[in-house]
Amino acid sequence: MLLYLRLLKESLFFALGALANNKLRTFLSLLGVTIGIFSIIAVLAAVDSLDRKIKESMSSVDKNTMYLKRFSFAPTDIPRWKMDNFPDVTYDEYEYLKENVHTAQYMAFQIFTKSEVIRFEDQSASNVNIIPVSYEFEDIQALKIEKGRFFNEAESISGTAVIVLGYEIAQTLFGDLDPLERKVRLYGQRFTVIGVLEKQGSGTFGESNDTAAIIPVNVLRRLYGDHNSFMTPIIIIKPQPGIKGEETKAEVTQRLRMYRGIKAGEPDNFMIDILSTFTDLIDNVVGTLNIGGWVISLFSLLVGGFGIANIMFVSVKERTNLIGIQKALGAKRRFILFQFLFEAIILSAIGGLVGLLLVWGVATIATSLLDFKFVLSFGNIALGTGLAVLIGLISGILPAISAAKLDPVEAIRSGM
């Protein structure tokens, strides 16, 4: 054991000596390893960070939650022109399904609409994402209220002019003032602020709730009716605990077909997307991105491996005389083999370490500049280190074998 520790120590000194004595040559040789490790770990860290962000943003929503509408969020075989001819879901259908779908725990009606300007006295917030919904939306989305409350069933059904503001909108309009019970103007109407959402941060898809305002859906229906080009209604459905999404989807499909009078054999004229299908799609995309990163980066690692092999062959040639002396004094082949193999691994590990430091630096800078947290996980650090060691092992094996096989007499003579 002590012999191998001494070998490792000597190999470390030889590797550091190569770095000190042949700076440019060693730098160019290690550059491939550095770029390869940087490329792989940077891609994996970015994809992992994006995947973590997506899952955090969806963590409050049950994966069995589904969305009933006339179009599809997910890829589908149904042509776009056919979906454009589907009828929109209606508030009446929402009320019917809510009464008759027994596997659903919550059901909410929502309208997608355009952004608006909200005003309070001389202050205004523009491009506010208006979210008109029924009162069940709070339970389905598990909204976190920082101040006040969400609107209740009576306010939702009657279309009371109340509003729940996102964190940034409240800050823009009121600053240090308490926003609760104050009046803001929207759609030419006065709305009473009854709640402010907790700060969420940047949204992974579309707008964050920080820049949103939530109102009872019946306010918008009362002002503009149910058929306008800037309004797209959907029904959000959360199954009962323990009920699979497909079971609730089948019941919703059966009930809505019956309500719309769709005959047996005729295709559905609506779409139901389950959130779990969307998360599975995201997992596939993440997997594809990871594979793409590996394929691209492996070319850099291949170049890096050749660079390490080259510097080790040169190192063997430069130290041929020393190898001969060591073998003449009784050093075994195994000793010479491990000496050069350790040196190759250490050089490659140095290149990998530089690559990891570059990833950490870029991730730190990107996190500070962007509203997105890049995370370099321990698993990725371990993977980068392991790859660097593996490259050193593979690249150094042939030069180490050639050094171990040298004849001591010929080695001393060639070195003189």
pLDDT in tens, 99-143: 999 999 999 999 999 999 999 988 999 999 999 999 999 988 888
Q: Scanning the structure block, which residue is given the tokens 């503001």? A: 165
Q: Are 347 and 392 in contact (CB under 8 A)?
A: yes
Alpha-carbon distance of 346 to 340, in angstroms, equals: 10
- Confidence check: pLDDT of 403 > 80: no
How far is the first Cα of the chain from the last one, in angstroms, to the nearest whole number?
Answer: 34
Indicate the burial class of 119 (C-beta count within 10 angstroms; 0-12, 13-18, 19 or more): middle
Instruction: Pick the more confident residue, 415 or 116.
Output: 116
Indicate the burial class of 143 (C-beta count within 10 angstroms; 0-12, 13-18, 19 or more): middle
78 half-sphere exposure, CB direction, 13 A CA radius: 17
pLDDT in tens, 362-398: 888 877 777 667 777 787 788 888 888 888 888 878 8
In this prediction, residues 410-414 reach a mean pLDDT of: 64
Q: By percentage, how much of the chain surpasses pLDDT 90?
A: 31
What burial letters (b/e) apply to 31-47, b meaning 16+ CB within 10 Å? bbbbbbbbbbbbbbbbb
pLDDT in tens, 29-87: 777 778 878 877 887 787 777 777 776 666 556 678 889 998 877 667 777 778 878 88
Q: Scanning the structure block, which residue is given the tokens 């209740």? A: 152
Token readout for 20 is 């000190």
Q: Are 95 and 160 in contact (CB under 8 A)?
A: no
Which amino acid is located at 313 in the chain?
F
Residue 101: predicted pLDDT: 92
Alpha-carbon distance of 300 to 37, in angstroms, equals: 8
For the chain, give the mean pLDDT: 82
Q: Scanning the structure block, which residue is given the tokens 């054991």? A: 1
Q: Are 53 and 204 in contact (CB under 8 A)?
A: yes
Answer positive or negative: Cα dihedral of 173, 176, 181, 182.
Answer: negative
Q: What torsion do the CA atoms of 235, 241, 243, 248 make, to the nearest 10 degrees?
A: -10
pTM score = 0.66
Nearest CA among 415, 408, 400 for reference residue 316: 400
Residues 6+ apart with CB under 8 A from 278: 73, 74
Nearest CA among 209, 185, 205 for reference residue 197: 209
Alpha-carbon distance of 87 to 226, in angstroms, equals: 12
317 half-sphere exposure, CB direction, 13 A CA radius: 6
